[in-house]
Amino acid sequence: MGSSKVELFEAIRRDRRVDSLSIRALAERHGVHRRTVRQALDNADPLPRKTPVRRSARLDPLKRLIDAMLQADLDAPRKQRHTARRVLARLVDEHGVVDLSYSTVRDYVALRRPQIAAEAGRGLETAFVLQTHLPGAEAEVDFGDVWVRLAGVMTKCFLLSGYSLECRGEYG
């Protein structure tokens, strides 16, 4: 079935309501397990998938070293900071590490870099500024060239395209 799980749940619930089918009949009609039918009848939205917590035993003794490199990067110029590839290269060259994959180091560096910055009080500040545009008060326009066939001849024309911010869904 090429549809999403939400659409599948919707179809199961509709068939149960309209045709009064049993759980077994619904499972056969939609080609799913009876457990899936019960989930659809209990909740309109599918439960989120559980993602297992993965742990790299090979990385555990090296985390202290990687954290030290990332902490040193806090004071280094931007172009001289460690990339995940450089962290792995240093672990191999300086500490003789073998059998450690790049993706393991990359994932750990991506996780720890913002945490270390936040611990040092240098976390990224994020903000959201709500904008309110009264209907018709503001608009955006673009100006450009367009080629059209005019009376059988390709002709360069100028196009002014615009829209109100209200139409783009930015109206607060």
| Structure token pair of residue 73 | 């990067």
Strands 153-164 and 139-150: antiparallel
**Residue 51: its pLDDT value, please?**
84
Residue 84: which residues within 8 A CB-CB, separation 6 or more? 102, 105, 106, 109, 110
- Which backbone phi and psi does 123 adopt, to 5 degrees? -65, 155
Supply the pTM of this predicted model. 0.47
Confidence of residue 57 (pLDDT cuts 50, 70, 90): confident
Q: pLDDT per residue over 100-137, tens digit each? A: 999 999 999 999 999 999 888 886 667 778 877 777 77
Residue 87: which residues within 8 A CB-CB, separation 6 or more? 66, 69, 70, 105, 109
Confidence of residue 3 (pLDDT cuts 50, 70, 90): low
